[in-house]
């Protein structure tokens, strides 16, 4: 007999034999009858299995407890009780694996997110993490679908890089040298010439620079891969290992870039609303009562687009007391961004044209000599979800900026070659995948939207 997924069984007509396999969420009942809520991960909903205890081996039935894995063959019938439309009257129960109730850490009752983080290997078996992981999958699929439909190519940029100049944060070193006995050069520094790659290599902090190389030949590309930042960040919005989506497009200026960023994020949110309704309904009920309303609002309304300079004026005119000073040339603090998004505009905001001195070397300089064509997309609750820019395509200006900021041009010869040979206007951005999932699920800590979070002092599992 063919096994069916709970999702299909729940959606199907009663009056037939079915076979399901999954994990027991709860078991209720008395001496004579058992009600088993069975979940197989295909949907947040459980199927109720009704078992006449007398018809089954008593020793086997003792093993059917919360967390155990079972298979059930039986007839699908209209439920006599309330709370579900159909249920399975068990004809045969196969006990695959028991879960000692005295030791199994998951209970019928809710657990704190902190506790579940300590048992991240088992937390997939909770309603919340099942929902989050199904949504995470749907969002990853939607990313690829979106770009494929638009003619973008998925480019696999390297995880291991020899470049020192990505400039997006502290990096993890990658080496096969003996850590207890590192070879030293005459200057006392580590000599990497005998290392695996013959040079000092690190884990990537961004695929952007390589992405630009692809875009300036293939037209439109995107990356979607892991990214590593060795920053000692302890916040609900940062991970040391996270996934980032970085589209890069030839012949796109900053306005085209903004159009894409907005269309892309609103598409993803609409996709979740259209395809993850059961999981979102659960999260809306149990995690964040405003979730669905917020998602619909963002999907249905245009983002505000304004400049850094205009934003500073808004902040200066407000009668709010700022913990950090506001002024042209200063970077916006979290409190400033939150005010703009959550109180002043009350919707997502795209800020552009930042002072050049607070942004990266590769951003295109404006004619005013003061600002660059960078853009940040700011979302309610989570702040910066996207950072991007039009890239500087003029060789002389790029070299000048690198010189000013101490970026070694000789190590970046391959990057500069794209400006040397057939340079063209181009743009791109980075979307933090986990921050997107945070927004879409209504979860409050980024460690709870990735299966196995890597944060300072934590690489368990």
Alpha carbon distance, N-terminus to C-terminus of the chain: 36
Residue 130: CB partners within 8 Å, gap ≥ 6? 39, 41, 44, 124, 279
Q: Is 430 in the site for RNA (CB under 7 A)?
A: yes
40 vs 376 by CB, closer to RNA: 376
How far CA 281 is from CA of 39, 274, 443, in Å, comes to 17, 12, 13
Q: Is 406 in the site for RNA (CB under 7 A)?
A: no
Q: How far apart, in whole angstroms, are the C-alpha atoms of residue 379 and residue 301?
A: 13
CB 113 within 8 A of CB 448: yes
2 vs 112 by CB, closer to RNA: 112
Least distance between RNA and beta carbon 389 (Å): 10
Q: Is 206 in the site for RNA (CB under 7 A)?
A: yes
Q: Is 97 in the site for RNA (CB under 7 A)?
A: no
Q: How far apart, in whole angstroms, are the C-alpha atoms of residue 398 and residue 362?
A: 7
CB 139 within 8 A of CB 147: no
Q: Is 89 in the site for RNA (CB under 7 A)?
A: yes
Least distance between RNA and beta carbon 216 (Å): 20
Q: How far apart, in whole angstroms, are the C-alpha atoms of residue 364 and residue 429?
A: 13
173 vs 445 by CB, closer to RNA: 445
Quickly tell me which residue has 């200006």 as its tokens: 397
Q: Is 405 in the site for RNA (CB under 7 A)?
A: no
Q: CA 370, 375, 380, 382: dihedral to nearest 10 degrees?
A: -100
From candidates 164, 191, 231, 288, binder to RNA by CB under 7 A:
231
Q: Is 112 in the site for RNA (CB under 7 A)?
A: yes
Q: Is 28 in the site for RNA (CB under 7 A)?
A: yes
Residue 345: CB partners within 8 Å, gap ≥ 6? 304
Of the candidates 443, 425, 426, which has an alpha carbon nearest to the alpha carbon of residue 434? 443
160 vs 405 by CB, closer to RNA: 405
Q: Is 242 in the site for RNA (CB under 7 A)?
A: yes
Of the candidates 98, 32, 51, which has an alpha carbon nearest to the alpha carbon of residue 70? 98
User: Judging by beta carbons within 10 Å of its beta carbon (0-12, 13-18, 19+), is residue 73 exposed, middle or buried?
Assistant: middle
From candidates 5, 35, 287, 314, binder to RNA by CB under 7 A:
35
State the sign of the Cα–Cα–Cα–Cα dihedral 69, 75, 79, 80.
Answer: negative
Using CB under 7 A as the binding rule, the residues of this chain from 169 to 198 that contact RNA are 169
Using CB under 7 A as the binding rule, the residues of this chain from 336 to 395 that contact RNA are 338, 383-387
Using CB under 7 A as the binding rule, the residues of this chain from 252 to 271 that contact RNA are none
Site string for RNA, 209-228 (x = CB under 7 A): --------------------
Q: Is 434 in the site for RNA (CB under 7 A)?
A: yes
Q: What is the DSSP string of 317-361?
A: HS-PPPSS---TTSPPPHHHHHIIIIIIS-S-EEEEEEEGGGS-T
Least distance between RNA and beta carbon 79 (Å): 5
Using the 8-state DSSP alphabet, how is residue 303 labeled?
P
CB 72 within 8 A of CB 90: yes
From candidates 1, 13, 31, 188, binder to RNA by CB under 7 A:
31
The number of residues that bind RNA (CB under 7 A) is 71
Least distance between RNA and beta carbon 243 (Å): 8
Least distance between RNA and beta carbon 197 (Å): 25
240 vs 350 by CB, closer to RNA: 240
Q: How far apart, in whole angstroms, are the C-alpha atoms of residue 248 and residue 268?
A: 18
32 vs 194 by CB, closer to RNA: 32
Q: Is 50 in the site for RNA (CB under 7 A)?
A: yes
Find the part of the chain contacting RNA (CB under 7 A) among 238-246, 258-266, 396-404, 407-415: 238-246
Give me the helices (H) in 150-241, please: 208-218
Least distance between RNA and beta carbon 235 (Å): 4
Per-residue exposure over 168-198, b if at least 16 CB sit within 10 Å of its own CB, e if not: beebeebeeeeeeeeeeeeeeeeebeebeee
From candidates 3, 16, 108, 420, binder to RNA by CB under 7 A:
108
Least distance between RNA and beta carbon 176 (Å): 26
From candidates 22, 428, 432, 442, binder to RNA by CB under 7 A:
432
Least distance between RNA and beta carbon 427 (Å): 14
From candidates 1, 58, 59, 82, binder to RNA by CB under 7 A:
82
Q: Which pair of structure tokens corresponds to residue 295?
A: 């998602």
Using CB under 7 A as the binding rule, the residues of this chain from 260 to 319 that contact RNA are none
Least distance between RNA and beta carbon 384 (Å): 5
Phi-psi region of 91 (alpha: psi -120 to 50; beta: other; left: phi over 0): alpha
168 vs 174 by CB, closer to RNA: 168
72 vs 446 by CB, closer to RNA: 446
């Amino acid at each position: 007999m063919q096994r069916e997924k709970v999702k299909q069984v729940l959606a199907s007509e009663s009056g037939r034999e079915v076979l399901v396999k999954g994990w027991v969420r709860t078991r209720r009942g008395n001496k004579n009858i058992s009600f088993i809520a069975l979940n197989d991960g295909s949907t947040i909903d459980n199927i109720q299995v009704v078992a006449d205890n007398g018809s089954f081996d008593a020793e086997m039935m003792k093993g059917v407890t919360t967390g155990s894995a079972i298979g059930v063959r039986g007839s699908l019938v209209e439920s006599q009780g309330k709370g579900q439309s159909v249920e399975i009257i068990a004809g045969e129960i196969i006990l695959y694996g028991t879960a000692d109730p005295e030791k199994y850490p998951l209970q019928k009752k809710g657990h704190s997110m902190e506790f579940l983080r300590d048992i991240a290997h088992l937390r997939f078996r909770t309603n919340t993490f099942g929902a989050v992981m199904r949504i995470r999958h749907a969002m990853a699929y939607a990313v690829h679908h979106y770009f494929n439909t638009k003619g973008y190519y998925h480019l696999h940029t390297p995880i291991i890089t020899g470049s020192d100049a990505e400039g997006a944060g502290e990096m993890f070193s990658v080496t096969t040298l003996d850590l207890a006995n590192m070879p030293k050069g005459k200057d006392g520094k580590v000599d990497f010439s005998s290392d695996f790659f013959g040079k000092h290599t690190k884990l990537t902090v961004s695929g952007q620079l390589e992405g630009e190389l692809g875009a300036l030949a293939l037209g439109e590309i995107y990356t979607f891969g892991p990214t590593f930042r060795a920053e000692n960040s302890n916040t609900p919005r940062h991970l040391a290992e996270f996934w980032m989506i970085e589209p890069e497009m030839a012949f796109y200026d900053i306005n085209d870039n903004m159009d894409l960023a907005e269309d892309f994020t609103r598409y993803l949110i609409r996709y979740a609303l259209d395809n993850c309704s059961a999981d979102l309904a659960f999260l809306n009920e149990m995690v964040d009562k405003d979730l669905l309303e917020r998602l619909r609002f963002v999907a249905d309304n245009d983002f505000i687009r304004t400049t850094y300079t205009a934003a500073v004026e808004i902040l200066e005119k407000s009668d709010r007391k700022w913990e950090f000073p506001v002024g042209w040339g200063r970077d916006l603090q979290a409190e400033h961004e939150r005010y703009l998004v959550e109180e002043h505009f009350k919707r997502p905001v795209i800020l552009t044209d930042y002072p050049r001195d607070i942004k990266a070397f590769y951003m295109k300089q404006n004619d005013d000599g003061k600002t660059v064509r960078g853009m940040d997309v700011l979302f309610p609750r989570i702040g910066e979800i996207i950072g991007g820019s039009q890239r500087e395509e003029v060789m002389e200006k790029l070299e000048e900026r690198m010189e000013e900021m101490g970026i070694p041009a000789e190590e970046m010869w391959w990057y500069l070659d794209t400006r040397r040979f057939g340079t063209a206007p181009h743009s791109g951005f980075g979307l933090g995948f986990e921050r997107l999932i945070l927004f879409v699920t209504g979860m409050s800590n980024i460690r709870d939207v990735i299966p196995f979070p890597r944060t300072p002092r934590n690489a368990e599992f």
